[in-house]
A and B are shown apart, each in its own frame.
Chain A
Amino acid sequence: MKLYRIKAVMIQEYFMMGRSLETLVDIFIFPIMNIIVFGFISKFLLGSTNQGSFLSLIVAMLFWQLFSTSQYSVSVPTLWNIWAHNLTNLFASPITLSEYFIAHAVSALIKSLIVFVIGSSIAYFQFGFSVLQLPLSFLFIMTINLYISGISIGLVLIGLIFAKGIRIQALTWVVVSIIQPLAAVFYPLSIIPEPFQSVSRILPLTYMFEALRQTIQDGAILPASQQLLITGSFITGIYFLLFLVFFKHLIDTSRETGQFAKNDL
């Protein structure tokens, strides 16, 4: 593992992002616009609901953007390299897959934190809500969990693209949209129809967002929220490890079938 190679991939991402308006829009403009729109909707609904619901909606949107930005930032740079036919050049250099993934994961953390800080500032200055009203430990646990969930999905998507080719590239944008309604991001789990609740229960995000609403309602991390956070963190960790193994399997498969090289031709 060499730091200079990780840094080189991060620089590559920085250069690419700087010249890709669509990526800047995807990573920064869309999430921030979503936060603003959700802020206005929440304000509009404030008259018919309680303060807690208003807060949980906008904070859920902030954390959701943290998750989706992490996932996007890990998977899309690989597509850039494939679209440019640069992947073989890259992996003909001494870079390892671990270094490549770590570079994108660090970059994803930086980008999602930037989005989170900008979004939180808008929430504070425009809508009068400070995320610092939540306990710092809660903020930390939520951030870490959503970030790890995001990069785990990003990792599997890279693996799938390496193994199956760019014909499945649409998944990069679609997966978060499929997860969102099932993960009970903006509403309680009980709102989801019973048959789908079993799917929701295997998603770590469901527990994290349930914990968010519970903590906002309680004003502190009480045992119910604690339990949800522990369960969510545990599932996040398990998924991360499983996805690492799955990623390795996908990469091995793509090298055996020749798809890894074919992606670049």
Chain B
Amino acid sequence: MNPLLKVDQLAKDFGSFRAVDGISFEIPKGKIVGLLGKNGAGKTTTIHMLLGITTPTSGSISYFGKDFNSHRQASLQRINYISSYNTLLGRTTVWENLQIYARLYNTQGHKEKIHELLTYFEVGDMKNKIYEDLSSGQKTRVNLVKSLLNEPELILMDEPTASLDPDIADKTLSLIENWKKEKNISILYTSHNMQEVTRICDDVLFLSNGAIIEHDTPQNLARKVTKAELILTYEKDPKLAFEYLQTRTIPYEHKHPNQLTIQTQEAEIPRIIFDISKTGLWMNDITINKPTLEDFFLQISRKKNEAI
């Protein structure tokens, strides 16, 4: 079965600067693929090439098994786009804005469709409001309605929840997750929020200096960071425990009274807890901070910065 989107050796040069460096990936049906990277890593340029508004220097893009360049209209009819950077017309109403897009996509029964989506995204009572008078969260949900008007099989989402407060972002994300489950759509998702990406993405492409340097599930990428943090809260004299850590040259910090913070390999944690308990330390609480995708992101970014 053909992937919905296939990108092959896609590259973009702006003068002597290579913004995207020969990336290749696929998005199968029903999958959410995250596109991660620091600012300037090439995420938005990639999205713009996938929409046909920036011309690639080399490489190819195909949607639904057909070359995008020669089937632009047919491809765009089956995909959609949402970005926190792009809004709808500020002075027109939500209803008017959505009607324009429904007509552009030739949505059949567009009035019913707009009503259905506005209700689903809980902005049905906003339809006669002027778009620029909406809150950021409401605008994002209206933009989501726009992005679903043509019942797309694939949506390109460029940081859709940026600028939303955590509560609204969480709600928006839940709506996206539910919609994805119901309709089995595919999504290419860029974000700086690693928790979001871990939560909704099946796969992650990690971009750095325009190239894909990692491609895996969020969980597997997080596992590539082997360091974890162990926090022990204790009651009695920790002298023997300190001696044990010093003998084993395990780095630790005494940040708060009665609290010991140990940086170690994730795999070492059970042994360390066992050994410390043998020193007679009375532990009240044990906290283990396992590595996350964010740790992986920071590790990669810092490595790159050091290299630079």
Contacts and interface: CB of A to CB of B under 8 A. Distances in A.
Interface of A: 2, 4-5, 7-9, 11-12, 15-16, 19-20, 80-81, 84-96, 252, 255-258, 260-261, 264-265
Nearest to A95: B104
Nearest to A4: B106
A265 B85 contact: yes
Nearest to B87: A85
Nearest to A253: B55
B77 A11 contact: no
Contacts, number: 104
Interface in B85-109: 85-92, 96, 99-101, 103-106
A243 B208 CA distance: 41
A258 B48 contact: yes
Nearest to B146: A89
B86 A264 contact: yes
B140 interface: no
B83 interface: yes
Given A11-B103, A89-B88, 9 more contacts: A9-B100, A9-B104, A84-B87, A90-B104, A91-B53, A92-B76, A93-B101, A258-B48, A261-B54
B155 to A, nearest CB: 10
Nearest to A256: B55
A89 B14 contact: no
Contact of B55 (A2, A87, A252): A252
B79 to A, nearest CB: 8
A258 B54 contact: yes
Given A15-B96, A94-B76, A96-B73, A2 B106 contact: yes
Contacts of A84: 87-91
Nearest to A265: B85
A11 to B, nearest CB: 6
A86 B89 contact: yes
A92 B81 contact: yes
A260 B44 CA distance: 13
A19 B106 CA distance: 25
Contact of B89 (A81, A94, A95, A258): A81
B48 A261 contact: yes
A257 B88 contact: no
Nearest to B90: A84
A258 B14 CA distance: 8
A265 to B, nearest CB: 5
Interface in B60-74: 72-74
B198 interface: no
Contacts of B77: 94
Interface of B: 12, 14, 19, 44-45, 48, 51-55, 72-74, 76-77, 80-81, 83, 85-92, 96, 99-101, 103-106, 130, 146, 156
Contact of A16 (B12, B89, B99, B146): B89
Contacts of B88: 84, 86, 89
A255 B89 contact: no
Contacts of B14: 257-258
9 contacts: A19-B130, A84-B90, A90-B104, A91-B51, A92-B51, A94-B72, A94-B76, A94-B77, A96-B73
B89 A88 contact: no
A11 B87 contact: no
Contacts of B99: 11
A5 B91 contact: no
Contacts of A88: 48, 51, 53, 81, 83, 85-86
B50 to A, nearest CB: 9
A14 B88 CA distance: 15
The list of the 6 closest CB pairs from A to B, nearest first, reads A8-B103, A92-B81, A261-B48, A19-B91, A94-B76, A93-B104
B81 A89 contact: yes
B76 A93 contact: yes
B100 A12 contact: yes
A206 to B, nearest CB: 38
A88 B86 CA distance: 7
Contacts of A255: 53-55
Contact of B53 (A11, A19, A20, A260): A260
Contacts of A11: 99-100, 103
A252 B104 CA distance: 23
A93 B48 CA distance: 13
A94 B105 contact: yes
A216 B48 CA distance: 55
Contacts of B72: 94
A93 B87 contact: no
Contacts of B105: 93-94
A228 B19 CA distance: 53
Contacts of A12: 89, 100
Nearest to B95: A15
A92 B89 CA distance: 15
B232 to A, nearest CB: 48
A49 B263 CA distance: 97
Contacts of B76: 92-94
